[in-house]
Amino acid sequence: MSNRVILRRCTEYDPDRISHIIQEGMEELGVRPRGRTMVKPNCVIAHPRYYANAFTRPEFLDGLLAALKARDGGISELSVGERCGITIPTRYAFAEAGYRPVIRRHRVKTYYFDEMPQVERPLAHPDALRSYIFVPQAVADCEFMVNAPKFKAHPWTQVTFALKNYIGIQDDSHRLIDHDHELHTKVADLQEVVAPGLIAIDGIIAGEKTMLTPSPFPLGLIIMGTNPVAVDAVCTHIVRLDPADVDHIRISHERGIGPIDLDQITVSGDVSLEQAQALSDGFQLSLDRVEEIFNGDKSGLETYAGPPPEPARTSAQADYCWGGCPGALFEAMHVIQAIQPGVYREVRPLHMVFGAYEGEIAAKPGERVIFMGDCAQYKGEICGKPVEIPFLYRYRDTYDPRHATSGDLLAKIFGYLAQRVRAGRRQVIRVRGCPVSVAENIFWISDLGRTKLPYLDPDVVFKFAYHYVIMRFRRFWAQQIGPRLGSTTGRGTA
Ligand code: SF4
């Protein structure tokens, strides 16, 4: 991998211009795609009205695919592969993102990672959270990975560029494992699975503040390279952050994946780093605890966050679970806000408690108190009544990813309903999970906070249900029937 990072000015989503820029970038980097070549965009969530700035744009994908074909160094298969946000069928996200016409026009394959067999891959680094990890078959088979993220802020990890985009190479059941206060370490672990042959970041219109519902920020940049740490280090400098302060970049650097020191990185292109920094002036990041976001008169929610159960081994942020339940609540509220803009004011009073919280819980009679996640624990009084919430967290070495079960939407709906029936009219509720996902947070807030349920929005529900049924059928076929008929590859659709 070269430590060169190329910054190119591009202000319009013009596929021809994007293709031209990326071809020149590949030439400068000395890169030619070969073998099984896969583009991994960031399509975590997509909808032209509600989530228009959350994903790598189709015009960017269009230009990138054209550039890869023009620089063909022996491509045996060209594909686009992704696992979008948890519980959303990836084929639904691709349809809403406008990827399907682009994929059809370029005649490339699609790999929906939620519809394929997941295979075990070893992790060698001594500081990895586990000695093996599961990824989709197509990722394991990939010979030339093209990492094509969106340039975005992220409320759990501050930023999401090349390294963080790899969280989308795992299906739900495996992605949620270690998606907690060790999220940064998990992101570093994922880099071992496959090194990118090319990184091309869509920074033409970047996303600021959040990652599922970011505000558009016209940055006007395409950023390219081959080393994800060097690329991410330059991107963090563009938004005037120190890469050493972003744990997954620092950890990946400490593992020898790449440099974060600008003296060891060659920045080239038609935009200097200083000019790129000027272009990012006003770009808003977010890394706020839930108490700062919701409490007081900011919303109907009152939140209380204690520390997670074990100090993060490699993270500097040990007193708060940045990669787990609190961040999921934040994103859940933003997803609801997309269809109900006044939700912060309109949500009925709810008290949400995380981790080992020890202070007072100021709930009034009739206001529900939800202890979120397996690590929540509490001993005290609520409305004058004694309350004891037991610690139910399972330490990570006590569960095995080989036994991971599907965490898809249906499972989450049934899990929620079972807990809801048990909770009845009780004031104090315990919600299990590690983490409690964005989807589950949405169910609880919509129900007890009397907000809209995004899944039932008329602009979403029918298309979502259609793609969900197809996804379930194809996954069943690929994971259960296909192997019995002799197919183990879970090949994608043309
Ligand atoms: S239960 Fe939630 S808050 Fe606790 S460690 Fe797991 S993800 Fe973090």
Among 238, 260, 279, the domain-final residue is 279
CA distance 336 to 453: 7
Residue 74 above 80 pLDDT?
A: yes
Q: Which long-range contacts (CB under 8 A, 24 or more apart) does 294-300 make?
A: 294/333, 294/344, 298/344, 299/333, 299/344, 299/345, 299/347, 300/344, 300/345, 300/346, 300/347, 300/348, 300/349, 300/350, 300/449
Categorize the per-residue pLDDT at 312 as very low, low, confident or very high, splitting at 50, 70 and 90.
Answer: low
CA distance 108 to 200: 18
Strand stretches in 335-412, DSSP E: 350-356, 368-382, 385-389
Domain identity same for 158 and 257: yes
Q: Is the Cβ atom of 347 under 6 angstroms away from ligand 1?
A: no
CA distance 245 to 250: 7
Q: Is the Cβ atom of 325 under 6 angstroms away from ligand 1?
A: yes
CA distance 303 to 295: 6
Instruction: State the DSSP code for 60.
Output: H
Contacts of 92 (CB under 8 A, 6+ apart): 84, 463, 464, 467, 468, 471
Domain identity same for 165 and 304: no
Indicate the SS3 state at residue 317. coil
Least confident of 44-53, 135-144, 328-337, 479-488: 479-488
Is residue 251 assigned to a domain? yes
Q: Which is it for the CA torsion 272, 273, 278, 279, positive or negative?
A: positive
Domain identity same for 305 and 447: yes
**Domain that residue 390 falls in:** 290-456
Domain identity same for 210 and 306: no
At 485 the pLDDT is: 72
Domain identity same for 322 and 255: no
- Nearest residue (by CA) to ligand 1, atom 6, is 434
At 315 the pLDDT is: 59
Distance 432 CA to ligand 1 centre (A): 10
At 259 the pLDDT is: 98
Distance 390 CA to ligand 1 centre (A): 14
Indicate the SS3 state at residue 111. strand
Q: Is the Cβ atom of 180 under 6 angstroms away from ligand 1?
A: yes
Is residue 462 assigned to a domain? no
Ligand 1 pocket test target in 434, 437, 441 with most atoms within 8 Å of CB: 434
Is residue 475 assigned to a domain? no
Q: Is the Cβ atom of 435 under 6 angstroms away from ligand 1?
A: yes
At 481 the pLDDT is: 80
Ligand 1 pocket test target in 321, 392, 440 with most atoms within 8 Å of CB: 321
Categorize the per-residue pLDDT at 487 as very low, low, confident or very high, splitting at 50, 70 and 90.
Answer: low
Instruction: Report pLDDT digits (tens) over 351-368.
Output: 999 999 999 999 999 999
Residue 67 above 90 pLDDT?
A: yes
Tell me what the mean pLDDT of segment 291-313 comes to: 90
At 280 the pLDDT is: 98
- Please state the pTM of the whole predicted model: 0.94
Domain identity same for 272 and 302: no
Is residue 476 assigned to a domain? no
Q: Which atom of ligand 1 is nearest to the CA of 321?
A: 8
Among 279, 308, 328, the domain-final residue is 279
Domain identity same for 380 and 440: yes
Sort strands 35-41 and 75-82 into parallel, antiparallel or unpaired.
parallel
Q: Which atom of ligand 1 is nearest to the CA of 179?
A: 7
- Cβ-in-10-Å burial (0-12, 13-18, 19+) of 462 comes to exposed
Domain identity same for 204 and 298: no
Q: How many domains does the chain have?
A: 2
Residue 306 above 90 pLDDT?
A: yes
Residue 86 above 90 pLDDT?
A: no
CB count, 10 Å around CB of 310?
14
Is residue 307 assigned to a domain? yes
Instruction: State the DSSP code for 114.
Output: G
Distance 385 CA to ligand 1 centre (A): 26
At 406 the pLDDT is: 67
CA distance 106 to 75: 14
Q: Is the Cβ atom of 350 under 6 angstroms away from ligand 1?
A: no
Q: Is the Cβ atom of 430 under 6 angstroms away from ligand 1?
A: no
- Across-strand partners of 388? 379
At 408 the pLDDT is: 81
Distance 375 CA to ligand 1 centre (A): 6
Ligand 1 pocket test target in 181, 320, 398 with most atoms within 8 Å of CB: 181
Instruction: Report pLDDT digits (tens) over 461-475.
Output: 999 999 999 999 998
Q: With both helix axes pointing from N to C terminus, report the angle between 247-254 and 183-190 in degrees, rounded to the nearest 10.
A: 50
Q: Which atom of ligand 1 is nearest to the CA of 309?
A: 5
Q: Assign residue 155 the CATH number of its domain.
A: 3.40.50.11440
Ligand 1 pocket test target in 184, 352, 375 with most atoms within 8 Å of CB: 375
Domain identity same for 131 and 179: yes
Determine the straight-line distance between the first and last CA of the chain, rounded to whole angstroms: 31
Instruction: Report pLDDT digits (tens) over 338-355.
Output: 999 999 999 999 999 999
Residue 494 above 50 pLDDT?
A: no
Residue 96 above 80 pLDDT?
A: yes
Q: Which is it for the CA torsion 159, 260, 256, 244, positive or negative?
A: negative
Average pLDDT, the chain: 94
Contacts of 282 (CB under 8 A, 6+ apart): 217
Distance 243 CA to ligand 1 centre (A): 25
Q: Is the Cβ atom of 232 under 6 angstroms away from ligand 1?
A: no
- Nearest residue (by CA) to ligand 1, atom 3, is 325
Is residue 440 assigned to a domain? yes
Q: Is the Cβ atom of 181 under 6 angstroms away from ligand 1?
A: yes
Q: Which atom of ligand 1 is nearest to the CA of 436?
A: 2
Among 257, 279, 301, the domain-final residue is 279
Q: What are the C-alpha distances in Å from 132 to residues 195, 296, 305, 406? A: 17, 44, 31, 18
Domain identity same for 133 and 52: yes
CA distance 285 to 1: 29
Instruction: Report pLDDT digits (tens) over 98-134.
Output: 999 999 999 999 999 999 999 999 999 999 999 999 9
Based on its alpha-carbon atoms, the radius of gyration of the chain, rounded to whole angstroms, reads: 22
The answer to whether the beta carbons of residues 196 and 228 sit under 8 Å apart is yes
CB count, 10 Å around CB of 147?
27
Secondary structure of 199-255 as H, E, C letters: EEEEEEEEEECCCCCCEEECCCEEEEECCHHHHHHHHHHHCCCCHHHCHHHHHHHHC
Domain identity same for 109 and 133: yes
Least confident of 247-256, 395-404, 483-492: 483-492
Structure tokens at 437: 């996902």
Is residue 472 assigned to a domain? no
Q: Is the Cβ atom of 168 under 6 angstroms away from ligand 1?
A: no
Instruction: Report pLDDT digits (tens) over 12-35.
Output: 999 999 999 999 999 999 999 999
Q: Which atom of ligand 1 is nearest to the CA of 393?
A: 1
At 24 the pLDDT is: 98
Can the peptide bond before residue 435 be classed as cis, meaning omega within 30 degrees of 0?
Answer: yes
Residue 142 above 50 pLDDT?
A: yes
Ligand 1 pocket test target in 290, 354, 391, 441 with most atoms within 8 Å of CB: 354
Domain identity same for 94 and 215: yes
Q: 357-367: b or e for each residue (b if 16 or more CB lie within 10 Å)?
A: beeebebeeeb
Structure tokens at 229: 């740490």
At 482 the pLDDT is: 73
